[in-house]
Amino acid sequence: MSSEFNLIYQHIAPLAGSRGDVVLGIGDDGAVVQPQQGKQVVVALDTLVEGRHFFVGQDAADIAYKSLAVNLSDLAAMGATPKWALLSLALPQSCATSTWFERFMTGWSDLAQQVDVALIGGDTTYSDTLTVSVTLMGEVKVGQAITRSGAQVGDDIWLSGSVGDAGLALTKLLAEQQLHAAIEQRLHRPTARVALGQALVGMATSAIDISDGLLADLGHLLKASQVGAVLRIEAMPFSVAVSEWVEQSGWEKPLTSGDDYELLFSASSQYRSQIQLLALALGLEISCIGKIAAQDQGLIITKEGKEQAIPSRKGFDHFASADIMKTS
């Protein structure tokens, strides 16, 4: 594409940031970064596809923000400090304009500046379907990365923030119903729990970020840790709007809808007060929603002491046609 370089250099290059550990950033065949001594590099990649992860015609600022946020959420779940990003843009001709790039840049820098992430390179190409892919790298002390596989029987299960808001927003938007701007933001501009993830190093025995639905993602953690769990519905952190949704449609909806980007983690009960203090320090709700149990117990969900049926659909399924967002 003839104008590719102009667009990249005019609009993307200012997103480079000013990290001292970027030895060579955008402009060469590859970037060079300098990891700290005693650290390991944690890498994650997430792709957002138009019509599947965001609406056709969505503000480019939201797309940029979300593409970085979802990767920040993965690094947070590993306990890593985010540092360097690579950005792949596959754009339809209609997006290759200064207006689109300016919006994209605004959304990206809104978030990248908050977390001090440098854009160190990427790739730009044409495609019929707008697709944004971000690779994010960060650091964690050697051997300290939090994984999905360390949960121990008897650990508490904790959840940050609230669940179901993004799922509610998507449901209402698809039904063309009114919704509160704050709830809509949870879908378009999720908040990755970056500081929480880093603070959990040494405390959490396992962690995962909730992207496809709480039950689906908890399932991944239980499988990796070879344990079971007991969850209490009355301990679930639901916003006022989601509580109303639960009254109308049941607790299953918010626990099986995607895009929450909260952290779910396990920790020994000895850390209970430390986690509560951490919640205060971060100004973030962190709720104890259950306990890790033996694997042969599987997953048990209780509500007011009564065991509940486990929903067959546990979360967002990328290959299910029912989960495709509106495409026109």
> Binding residue for ligand ADP (CB under 6 A) from 18, 28, 99, 328?
28
User: Which value, in Å, is the radius of gyration of the alpha carbons in the chain?
Assistant: 20
- Backbone φ and ψ of 307, nearest 5°: -70, 135
Stretches 26-34, 191-199, 244-252, 272-280: which one binds Mg ion (CB under 5 A)? 26-34
By CB atoms closer than 10 A (0-12, 13-18, 19+), residue 144 is middle
Among 217, 232, 223, smallest CA distance to 264 is for 217
At 195, list the tokens.
């500081």
Interface residue with Mg ion, options 18, 20, 29, 37 (CB under 5 A): 29
Binding of Mg ion by 28 (CB under 5 A): no
Answer yes or no whether residue 63 interacts with ligand ADP by CB under 6 A.
no
Nearest partner of 187 among 95, 71, 88, 69, judged by Cα: 69
Q: Which of 81, 315, 319 is nearest to 220 (CA)?
A: 315
User: Which of the ranges 93-101, 117-125, 196-204, 270-278 carries the binding residues for ligand ADP, by CB under 6 A?
Assistant: 117-125
* 251: amino acid identity, one letter: W
d(CA 295, CA 312): 19
121 sits near ligand ADP (criterion: CB under 6 A): yes
User: Contact between 47 and ligand ADP (CB under 6 A)?
Assistant: no
Write down the least CB distance from residue 13 to ligand ADP, Å. Answer: 8
Residue nearest to Mg ion (CB): 29
Cβ 123 to ligand ADP, closest distance in Å? 5
**What's the N-to-C CA distance of the chain in angstroms?**
27
12 binds ligand ADP per the rule CB under 6 A: yes
176 binds Mg ion (CB under 5 A): no
Which stretches of the chain bind ligand ADP, using CB under 6 A? 8, 12, 26-29, 87, 89, 119, 121-124
Which stretches of the chain bind Mg ion, using CB under 5 A? 29
